[in-house]
Copies of this chain bind each other. A is one copy, B any other.
Amino acid sequence: MRRVAIVGAGMTAFAEHFALGIKDLLPMAFAECAASVDKGIRTSDLGAAWFGALGATDGFPAGVLADALGLHGLPVTHIENSCATGNDAVRNALFALSSGAVDVALVIGADKLRENAQKDLLGTWEPVAGDRAWDHQLGLFPHAGFALHVNRYLYESPATREHMAMIAVKNHRNGAANPKARLRFEITVDQALSAPIVADPFGVYDCVPQSDGAAALILVAEDVVDRYTDRPVWVRGVGLGLDTVMHQHKRDMTTFPATVRAARAAFAMAGLAPADVDVAEVHDYFTGIELMSYEDLGFAERFEAHKLVEAGVTALGGALPVNPSGGLKAKGHPPGATGVAQCVELFEQLRGDAVNQVDGARIGLAHNLGGPTAVAAVTILEGPA
């Protein structure tokens, strides 16, 4: 397979963009991404695009992107894979670049779920991310469905709500320094523990805010990397994993097979192991999901994730900082954009340019879990030599 590198990355702030439409956010993310390419890039260089969006795009997604960027000569594929949408857009672009069919690709993700012209989708994106005929009718909207998993995990493992609160504190602290994050304030463990309960065991500070936003990457094949930068970030591995949609079919509530499958595929492609990872962006739609995912990703032994939190391993300055961007927790979660934005953060980390820089980071991992909890994707990147 031809190797593939990221040579440009950019994103809008994740925020309540009441005054901006999806057609405003897409060009903003693309402009910052194009400007980040060290030796410059012309739009005519682009061979194809992959657009990640859950569907809140003011109409036909691929066409809206082409219209918004004024690039009607560019073939655009719209990818939707619940919260793993952005990572799967990267995965499909990688295949096209590796095949030789495309040399330069745009990967862009965006969603504006809080308010947009598709009012019908606004109310339905969460059930579309689950089983509409069964779980949704039983009231298993995402918070309730994830709560079933985390409650069982807290019951079976030594982890407690305090560990979840420590993750909230960590990600809020990281996000406070990130100008692209939405929740830019620090909190304390006491604040997290005493916050109103949304769905037990999740208090308000265990939950992600819903944000609008867009993020973009330029991926190129190894043959043409030198035209664009001397500091490429290589896409070493991509993995996508599925699992049953309905909670009644889950055989073990304390692990997410989708993540295990996605991680196995990505590490196998990369020829790397969890111990090789220097910095990670891990799905934290709820704090307890970040905690449990440490185990599914291979960063901790079964039921020992809390030890990483207690030892500060995943905080800035630890051996494996997780969510230095502030994570979904502080940024918010426009699903189409999230996986792409994680790669934007890792692009900066692996080139030494990040706001909350992890010293000497060489291997980065991005992870999302969604469709609650039927899909996960993992992307592994490597910085310039």
Interface residues of A (CB under 8 A from B): 1-2, 21, 48, 55, 58-64, 66-67, 71-82, 88, 91-92, 94-96, 98-102, 117-118, 120-121, 123-124, 127-133, 135-136, 239-246, 249, 257, 261-262, 265, 269, 370-371, 374-375
Contact = CB atoms under 8 A, between A and B. Distances in A.
Given A77-B240, A98-B101, A118-B124, 11 more contacts: A55-B128, A58-B133, A60-B128, A60-B370, A61-B80, A62-B374, A67-B131, A75-B242, A94-B99, A95-B96, A121-B121
A128 B121 CA distance: 10
Contact of A77 (B61, B81, B120): B81
Q: How many copies does the complex hold?
A: 2
Given A77-B88, A245-B60, A124 B121 contact: yes
A120 B117 contact: no
A1 B80 contact: no
Contact of A63 (B58, B101, B131, B136): B131
Contacts of A246: 67
A132 B184 CA distance: 34
Contact of A261 (B63, B73, B98, B129): B73
Contact of A92 (B63, B82, B95): B95
Contacts of A64: 131, 245
A133 B117 contact: yes
A72 B258 CA distance: 8
Given A121-B124, A131-B59, A245-B64, A79 B76 contact: no
A144 B129 CA distance: 32
A62 B242 contact: yes
B74 A242 contact: yes
Nearest to A136: B59
Chain A to chain B: the 4 pairs with minimum beta-carbon distance, closest first: A63-B374, A98-B99, A75-B240, A63-B245
Output the residue of A59, A67, A92, A244 with the most chain B CB within 10 A.
A59
A244 B72 contact: yes
A379 to B, nearest CB: 13
A118 B132 contact: yes
A55 B58 contact: no
11 contacts: A59-B128, A60-B82, A62-B371, A67-B249, A72-B243, A73-B261, A75-B261, A77-B88, A78-B79, A79-B79, A95-B102
B63 A242 contact: yes
A128 B118 contact: yes
Contacts of A374: 60, 62-63, 66-67
Output the residue of A80, A124, A127, A240 with the most chain B CB within 10 A.
A80
Contacts of A245: 59-60, 63-64, 66-67
B59 A130 contact: yes
Nearest to A64: B245
Contact of A101 (B131, B133, B269): B269
Contacts of A2: 99
A79 B77 contact: yes
Contacts of A80: 55, 61, 78, 80
A131 B240 contact: no
B1 A100 contact: yes
B131 A60 contact: yes
B63 A375 contact: yes
A94 B59 CA distance: 27
A2 B208 CA distance: 43
A117 B132 contact: yes
